[in-house]
Amino acid sequence: MNFPGNSAASLKVGIVTVTYNSRAVLEEFFSSLAAQSYTNYILYIVDSASTDETAAYTAAHLPPQARLLPSAVNIGFAAGTNLGIRAAFADGCEAILMLNNDVVLDREMIRHLVDALDRDRCDMTTPLMYYHQPANRIWAAGGALHPWLGYLNSHRGMGETDRGQFSKGTRVTFAPLCSVLARKAVFERAGLLDERYFTYTEDSDFMYSCMKLNITLWYVPEAKLWHKVSSLTGNLSTFTIYYSVRGRIYFLHKHFSSPMAWAWTCAYLAYFPLQFALRRLSWRIMKLKCRAALEGHALYREGVSRRAAHDVTTAVD
């Protein structure tokens, strides 16, 4: 489905980024934004209670086209992004670019993403994302949600050297929210990010909701960025493992019927003891994953209870 609206070439874009102890990456991020050929944007920096020098550095180097939205507590990526999106809409922005700050942008990236909205008659666009080092190694050339794996996501071309194999634009069903440009109407139809995820899996959740509504996501190969993958959260850190498992279980029970959700959950959980038996997983990490899975299901049950309470209240009112 393609939403009507103003010509993309004139869109006022709200760029939303969430910082948390991000001081080490901000200089390059700000520099690559300042060099963009597309200038009709406002940058919304949501600082999620950083404990390093992020807030002070941002305040001292705040770009002219930027607003700093500090949070007194760490509200996570999903809630922080929503805070920025709401502020952008209040300021009259017509599209939202959800963007990590551990990235370096090609100077034409935003222009290419904006131009593709009209040219490719789509609702969302996403660039070709490389690892920061080596600079020609692909992190994501768009991606997919796989129905036969419970709509688990994957990145196209992840880890491959760029030889031009993803040089053609195409419709995709998934892209990490590291960099996705979406028209305002997308959020009016699909809603904002589900804040129960805190971080991780909120991208699959959002893309799955969009896919069900036939909202089109287009991969734009001429738009490029370089991502300092896991530079802030750590590659396979306990934080990453916990919130990834927690989010995965919540996603399954949120979106699928109970028999299907439990079938996928059991298949997913069965992999943990197998990894442990093969000595690819320590006892400590397996316990962490099991605790995260229980928390993920508790999140779902809490959501069901809240919906039931709302229904009762609505009926009484």
316: in domain? no
Helices (H) then strands (E): counts for the chain: 9, 12
Asked if residue 97 and residue 18 are part of one domain, the reply reads yes
102 within domain boundaries: yes
**Residue 92 region, left (φ>0) first, then alpha (ψ -120 to 50), else beta?**
left
Pairwise CA distance, residues 189 & 191, whole Å: 6
Pair 203, 256 in one domain: no
Domain boundary residue, one of 180, 203, 227: 227
Q: Would residue 203 count as lying in a domain? A: yes
Q: Is residue 244 one of the residues assigned to a domain?
A: yes
Domain boundary among 172, 205, 227: 227
Residues 315, 188: Cα–Cα separation, whole Å? 26
Q: Which domain CATH number covers 51?
A: 3.90.550.60
Residue 248 lies in a domain: yes
Check residue 123 and report its DSSP letter.
S
Is residue 193 located within the same domain as residue 243?
no
- Both 132 and 164 in one domain: the answer is yes
By residue range, what is the domain housing residue 138? Answer: 8-227
Domain count for the chain: 2
Digit-by-digit pLDDT tens for the chain (317 residues) are: 555 445 566 899 999 999 999 999 999 999 999 999 999 999 999 999 999 999 999 999 998 899 999 999 999 999 999 999 999 999 999 999 999 999 999 999 999 999 999 999 999 999 999 999 999 999 999 999 999 999 999 999 999 999 999 999 999 999 999 999 999 999 999 999 999 999 999 999 999 999 999 999 999 999 999 999 875 555 568 999 999 999 999 999 999 999 999 999 999 999 888 888 888 889 999 999 999 999 999 999 987 655 544 343 333 33
Same domain, 248 and 219: no
DSSP state of 106: -
d(CA 269, CA 255): 18
> Does 207 share its domain with 139?
yes
For the whole prediction, is pTM greater than 0.75? yes
